[in-house]
Amino acid sequence: MGVKVEHLRFSYDEKVNVLKDISFRADSGDVLAVLGPNGVGKSTLFQCLLGFLRPSEGTVELEGRDVQHMTNSERAKAIAYIPQSAAPVFNYTVLDIVTMGMTGQMRMFESPGPEHRERAMETLRSLGMDHLAHRGCNQISGGERQLMLLARALVQDAKILLMDEPTANLDYGNSYRVMERICTLGSRGFTVIFSSHEPGHALRYADRVLALLDGTVLAEGTPAEVLTEEALTRLYGIPVAVREVDVNGTGFPVSVPYRDE
Amino acid sequence: MQDTRSPDLDGIRAEEPAGRRFGSISGDVSGEGRYALRFLILIILFVLVFFGSFVLGRYSVSVSELFRILSKGPFLHSGDIQDAVVWNIRMPRILCAMLVGAALSTAGASYQGMFRNPMVSPDLLGASTGAGFGAAMAILLSLGYVGIMVCAFSFGLLAVFLAYMVSRMSRLESTLSMVLSGVMISSLFSACTSFVKLVADTEDQLPAITYWLMGSLTSVKNVDAIFAFVPIIIGLIPILLLRWRINLLTVSEAEAKAMGLNTEQLRLIVIICATLITSASVAVSGMIGWVGLVIPHFCRLIYGYDYRRLVPASILMGATFLMIVDDVSRCITTSEIPLGILTSFIGAPVFIYLILTGGEDRGR
């Protein structure tokens, strides 16, 4: 099932199309990386996937259903969203934030009960975060905060996870740790779609890559097919070399921008 | 019921606590149980202040006399002066202080969550200034006591309706446009009130308007308590029922929507309810500032950020606070000090302290 996007067009002012005829699919178990320079329409595409923006043309299907025909709670059961970062105005506990992910499963006037909190704790435990459950969400590190958002998305019970630059505000080590966890989600049956400005993440962690340029699909396929030196150079407007680095007998593809002498 | 085992996540379990790996800040806090005791203390304080307020005042009523009079009920007056003091003077006043305090602090907590801003107060959308103008105009037109209340209430709602309509027509982001249009409408009604004061009779009307705008419960009657009770309860019930969902309004719009929340619908309900209770409060008591700003801050300090606890805590603490302020108002001087002045004297320094110490996370 997963996500199926067909001939998607979107414009904010009915004059300039931000998205022009985008088509792709991500099946259950796929980890799809969305790459493209700033302003290419990644955020707009994500808003269309979440059903917040109505496409001018084309369709977005989540688990076989048109997202525009789904109610808020139906959408929440199909797709969970993980923003770039969370800096809540109020210093809720980590457990409170994770429990919020279950709101779509509750009735209008229902509040979370012990069973919801236990489930949130179980999810935090599975991420090795349970000891932070009662800590203020503004008192934990950036990496922990990103895992907290992941936990919140996981308790939502959606099989599609949409992540907007999940490592954008993280240091080198935390980026690695968060991406390591994200890539295991695909093998557990989740459909993971993440955007990134780091081609190395797509090369290493994604099963498929969607490269966007000027609101259209430049290329779609496996990382090896899509992330060629030519494609990356065209995508970012700088010369990029793609090499394989051997570490303890395992080859890791890396991309390196360089100055064109 | 959901399966709590989360089998899908076995493969991403951390090998060691993430706190060590991510270098987190130490100092964990305990769980939920500690809040029960804090609520019990607040409830006891509320009950003590409620009954204590009957005893305090220039006309002395002992505790035993108080319970004797209260046990007789409101309709069996013996003609005794103490009965009249308790049932006709202090009862409406205490009830109004309780209702107004609860209403303003709950409205403040709701607005703060909805606008994701802890510095927001109930008069942000113009409810207080609109109601203030309505009352000033009613005094100018000599419409009498009921007229003042009806005008205050109507113009409070009108101000928020105008702010809401302007923000709907704006192209700005919804929260920002709502705040900006609220400030603008508030300023407009403030100017209108100044104009009313300018043309008012300086012998009678101007002092009456000025005194009313300072906020006071000096002349409230039992009918005022009923007038305040109905809209305040109508506004409080949906906020109480939806208090968990108000938590989700404090995160970004995209996150809240993605979690299945109908943000537009919830925001509209909260605006209507918070405005209703603010207008009803202003209609009865005049403009009493700071309660809606400071009390939610204190409640967060003691009861945490979760609106499931914050709303009931704001109701109880706001009611208790305003009953105490009203007791002080009628006890410290022979001529009563308007409540708005006292709440400003207390609220402003406390708020400065909170800002300087970053108080919200201390002691939690």
The ipTM of this complex is 0.90
Residue B359's pLDDT band, with cuts at 50, 70 and 90, is low
Over residues B58-63, mean pLDDT? 84
Those of residues 78-97 in A touching chain B at CB distance below 8 A are 79-81, 83, 86, 88-93, 96-97
User: Angle B119-B120-B121 (CA atoms, 0-180°, nearest 5)?
Assistant: 120
- Residue B5 has a pLDDT of 36
Over residues B224-249, mean pLDDT? 93
Residue B228's pLDDT band, with cuts at 50, 70 and 90, is confident
- Indicate yes or no: CB of B248 within 8 angstroms of CB of A110: no
Over residues B329-346, mean pLDDT? 86
Give the separation between CA A63 and CA A159, rounded to whole angstroms.
9
The 10 Å CB-count burial string (b at 16+, else e) for B72-91 is eeeeeeeeeebbebbbebbb
Q: Which residues contact B329 (CB under 8 A, 6 or more apart)?
A: B216, B217, B336, B337, B338, B339, B342
Q: Report whether pLDDT(B83) > 90.
A: no
Local structure of residue B118 (DSSP, 8 states): T
CA B213 to the chain's CA centroid? 17
How many Cα atoms are found within 13 Å in the side-chain-facing hemisphere of A223?
Answer: 21
Nearest to B339 by CA among B154, B97, B134, B9: B97
Q: Does A50 touch chain B (CB under 8 A)?
A: yes
- C-alpha dist (Å) from residue A135 to A139, B24, B243, B322: 7, 10, 22, 33
Q: Best-predicted range by mean pLDDT among A181-185, A189-193, B6-10, B33-37?
A: A189-193
β-bridge partners, A211: A35, A219
Indicate the pairing of strand A216-221 with strand A208-213.
antiparallel
Over residues A6-33, mean pLDDT? 91
Q: What are phi and psi of A95, to 5 degrees?
A: -65, -40
Beta carbons of B240 and A84 less than 8 angstroms apart: no
Q: Which amino acid appears at position A39 of this protein?
A: G
Dihedral through CA B74, CA B78, CA B80, CA B82, nearest 10? -30
Q: How far is B233 from chain A (nearest CA, A)?
A: 17
Span A67-84, pLDDT tens digits? 999 999 899 999 999 998
- C-alpha dist (Å) from residue B28 to A89, A136, A143, A150, B14: 20, 9, 18, 21, 19
Give the separation between CA B191 and CA B334, rounded to whole angstroms.
33
Give the separation between CA A142 and CA A133, rounded to whole angstroms.
15
Span A111-136, pLDDT tens digits? 999 999 999 999 999 998 999 999 99
Beta carbons of B80 and B117 less than 8 angstroms apart: no
Q: Report whether pLDDT(B13) > 70.
A: no
Q: Report whether pLDDT(B224) > 90.
A: no
Beta carbons of A22 and A16 less than 8 angstroms apart: no
Give the separation between CA B109 and CA B310, rounded to whole angstroms.
8
Residue B12's pLDDT band, with cuts at 50, 70 and 90, is very low
Which of A79, A124, A126 is best to mutate for the B interface (most B CBs within 10 A)?
Answer: A126
Q: What percent of chain A has pLDDT over 90?
A: 75
Nearest CA in chain A to B4: A119
Q: What are phi and psi of B305, to 5 degrees?
A: -95, -20
Q: Which residue would you say has higher pLDDT here, A95 or B289?
A: A95
Q: What are phi and psi of A240, to 5 degrees?
A: -130, 130
Over residues B213-227, mean pLDDT? 84
- Indicate yes or no: CB of A50 within 8 angstroms of CB of B254: yes
- Residue B153 has a pLDDT of 80
Token pair 């005042």 is found at B57
Over residues B86-97, mean pLDDT? 92
- Residue A261 has a pLDDT of 66
- Indicate yes or no: CB of B255 within 8 angstroms of CB of A86: yes
- Residue B1 has a pLDDT of 39
Taking CB atoms and an 8 Å cutoff, what residues of chain A touch B306? 92-93, 96
Nearest to A150 by CA among A85, A57, A245, A234: A85
Q: How far is A201 from chain B (nearest CA, A)?
A: 18
Candidate from A45-49, A82-86, A152-156 with smallest mean pLDDT: A82-86
Give the separation between CA B276 and CA B253, rounded to whole angstroms.
24
Give the separation between CA A149 and CA A153, rounded to whole angstroms.
6
Q: Does A222 touch chain B (CB under 8 A)?
A: no
Give the mean pLDDT of chain B: 84
Give the mean pLDDT of chain A: 92
Local structure of residue A102 (DSSP, 8 states): T
Give the separation between CA B266 and CA B248, rounded to whole angstroms.
10
- Indicate yes or no: CB of B305 within 8 angstroms of CB of A91: yes
Residue A32's pLDDT band, with cuts at 50, 70 and 90, is very high
- Residue B358 has a pLDDT of 62
Those of residues 246-265 in B touching chain A at CB distance below 8 A are 247-248, 250-252, 254-255, 257-262
Q: Does B16 touch chain A (CB under 8 A)?
A: yes
Q: Does A205 touch chain B (CB under 8 A)?
A: no
Taking CB atoms and an 8 Å cutoff, what residues of chain B touch A118? 4
CATH of domain B34-356: 1.10.3470.10
Give the separation between CA A104 and CA A161, rounded to whole angstroms.
15
Taking CB atoms and an 8 Å cutoff, what residues of chain B touch A185? 12
